[in-house]
Every structure is written in structure tokens, then in C-alpha cells.
Amino acid sequence: MSDFNKEMITKYGVIRENILGLKGVAKRAVFILDPKGVIVYKWVSDNPGIEPPYEEVIRIVDELSRKYSP
């Protein structure tokens, strides 16, 4: 997603004020929202070198898919 104005990273609390001279960039983060917009999963890392737990993310998305599929 593009967040040119930094609205979402500010709203979700994942903005880094300064990292290696770059100001206002996002932390590495994953948010999963249900169809009502409620956050059901959140993963945030202050270390940009650490990747999210992809298997866990896929599992949560699969569970939501089954729960909300017609």
C-alpha cells in the first residue's frame, strides 16, 4: 500500500522518526483486519532486517477466509 502522506503509519503507530537518516518511514509491520475493520492480528518489528512469521500470517488469513466466506 502507498502511504505518501504517512497517515496510516501514524494511525497504526508504526512510524519511525529517524532511521539511518531517513525520517518518517514505516517499521516493518503486518496488520490483518476482519471484514468489519477490526485488527485481528498485529506484528511489528523495530528491526527492519527481521521478516514477519509468514506461516502464521497465512494461517490467520486462511482462518478468516473460512470464517467469512459465503
Give exposure, 8-34, as e/b (b: 16+ Cβ within 10 Å): ebeebebbbeeeeeeeebbbbebeeee
User: pLDDT (tens digit, 9 = 90+) per residue, 18-53?
Assistant: 777 878 889 999 999 999 999 999 999 988 899 999
Domain parsing of the chain, residue ranges? 7-68
The whole-model pTM stands at 0.83
Q: What is the pLDDT of residue 66?
A: 94
Q: What is the pLDDT of residue 7?
A: 94
The correct answer on CATH 3.40.30.10 for the domain covering 7-68 is: yes
